[in-house]
Chains A and B, each alone.
Chain A
Amino acid sequence: MNLCSEIREHLDDWIDGTLTEADRTAIEGHLAKCGRCADQFKRQRALSDGLLALGGIANRIADAEVPKRMRRIAQWRAVSVVAASILLLLPSILFVAVPWRRAAPTPFASNDRQRSSRPDVLNERWIAGPASGPVSEASFVRWTGAEGRIAVPVESRNPRIHIVWIYNEIASVEGPTGGETGTQPASSS
């Protein structure tokens, strides 16, 4: 490896200022005699200074005080986001907070159909709500058009939500104690 190659290996350390005094002296002595190496070192030094200047500009941009106009725009933006959120949430808040008057039962909130393993049996789970008071089984039958079907109310944790299973037919099945038979609605799979 010739001297120039060896000198250029230390270019980064020279730029970073991490050379010992002796090494720095040796390198600068070579640069005084070698135009090619001097040119390369000079370009790298200029690049390094340019990057430092660019860094300084970036710091100025980062540290600059946000203009009052921009601050006001940012504040209005924040206020409008909060206001829009409140408007969107308001119906939900009122729905929960305002006590509902006794009203006629409303259409079902959902209809969750579950098929049983037997294709000729259709089990449906109807969930109705809200209602202000107990709802009669007759009302459920009327709503679901379930005349001729069996409607079995299921316990619901929410007093306003009423759940009823509707079965098309009754099948004879073995009871849980084994050997006993009883009549109960065909269960879903």
Chain B
Amino acid sequence: MTPLELCATLRNGMPDLFECSPAPSGSVRVRTPMTLPDGDLVDVFMLEQDSGYVVTDFGDTLGWLRMQSPRSSLTQKQQAMVDDICLTLGVEQRNGQLQLHCTDVRHFPEAVLLLAQAAMRVASVWFTFPTFTAPLAEARARAGETTADQVEDWLRQQRQLSIRRKVKHAGGSGRQWEIDYEVSTDAQTSLVFLLTAGTRPKAQRVTEHVLTGCFDLRELRNSKTPLAFVSLFDDTRDVWREEDFNLMKGYSNIAFWSRRNEIPQILATPLSK
């Protein structure tokens, strides 16, 4: 089928809102009415390959995602979202492209629609980007991402850090404590407690809880392989007071999420006995 014939076939099976036109190298562009999160329209392409046809975005969707943030790749969690979306729609990821293969001309319109839907949904992974600047709580609620997820993503981007999340250690009382992160550098291993709260009363309770944990786990700081303690305050909300930091200073190094560039140095800071 020539590109013009392919265009005619697609037009017969699709509403006028879908515009078909020949594109480079024998392919056909279908401009759909679907939009990406920024309002840009989704284009899909169709071309003959082997004994059938392939519908593809030529990599534009994942490329669009990379163009929205300073990052050069998706996190593991974001990639898992993309994988799940493609699994649901029967779309293949190949060479950075979203693709569908089709041999039956009667199914061409459906293939175009599925690929366009995949492009829209994959692009919506954008809502999980830290740079999505709705009010922070609204963004978290919409995207399903917590501060803890953001911290983990950020820690994993840092070089020469080995991270384990939700690690359990027994305190001197016998109680099991779940630590937010265990982070290892060449110099030492640190237990990182994330303090995050939406209100002042919650902030007080969280501080007291972490303080109790640090006290109960204090022997770990003097063990054969001593562990450092770091209290990481999520200070994106103004719920903390100087007294909270002073409480934790007696038992841990202090770090602030708004000054995360200081965290690698804090993680490498030797234990103070």
Do A and B come from the same complex? no
